[in-house]
Amino acid sequence: MGRFRPSPFPGFPIGESEPCLRTTRTKSLAVFESFMKWRHAGETGSLAVYSKKIAALITVHGILILIFWVLAMRLGRARELVTYILLAVFGPRTIIEGRRAIIFTPTEVIYRPAFASPLHVPLQCIVSVRANLLLDLFLLRPRYLSGVALTLTSGDTVKFPVDFKEQSEILRRLDAARSTARA
């Protein structure tokens, strides 16, 4: 009896208010949390999030790099360098494509581009919704994407791409939001 028992939490003697859980935050975890916060920006309080599914893109890129790796056996040490270059090109593109999203909340539609901050458009400000084509440049390669042009009550026009699998559902939601706001 009367034996001294050291506290499992230094600085908190037994009998005083000990924390239920104590963690050490590492720098790598903070970087991961920052990345995930950036990756999912604008999703809090969302009703629907439409984004690219990148699993297929990762698979295709992986297969292409594996095919290159097998076909380039004669390159020797240069094969590794070229593989790293391919990973450096394909990896960020896959992450970037996966970040773009259209997010619906009860009061606004949010377009989250690949790099920039999310663009918030209040649903009651939408006057008209038109489908159109947008020019996008990626690695200096132009491509046309299906998009939408929203005319706002202020007279401004906001354009963003809707080249997602659920494109018809996104356009239907935007048109329904316009109709509801006008009524």
| CATH number for position 109 | 2.30.29.30
Nearest 5°: the CA angle 114, 120, 126 is: 125
- Decide if 96 contacts 102 (C-beta within 8 A): no
Q: How far apart are CA 133 and CA 72, in angstroms?
A: 39
- Dihedral sign of CA atoms 34, 36, 134, 174 in order: negative
- Kindly report, residue by residue over 95-152, the tens digit of the pLDDT: 777 788 888 888 888 888 887 888 888 888 888 888 888 887 766 678 888 889 988 8
Whether the predicted pLDDT of 9 surpasses 70: no
Indicate if 136 and 46 belong to the same structural domain: yes
Q: By residue range, what is the domain housing residue 132?
A: 25-51+100-183
The verdict on residue 2 lying in a domain is: no
Q: Name the domain count of the chain.
A: 2
Whether the predicted pLDDT of 76 surpasses 60: yes
pTM of the model: 0.66
Indicate if 110 and 161 belong to the same structural domain: yes
The pLDDT of residue 86 = 77
Indicate if 119 and 145 belong to the same structural domain: yes
Indicate if 47 and 58 belong to the same structural domain: no
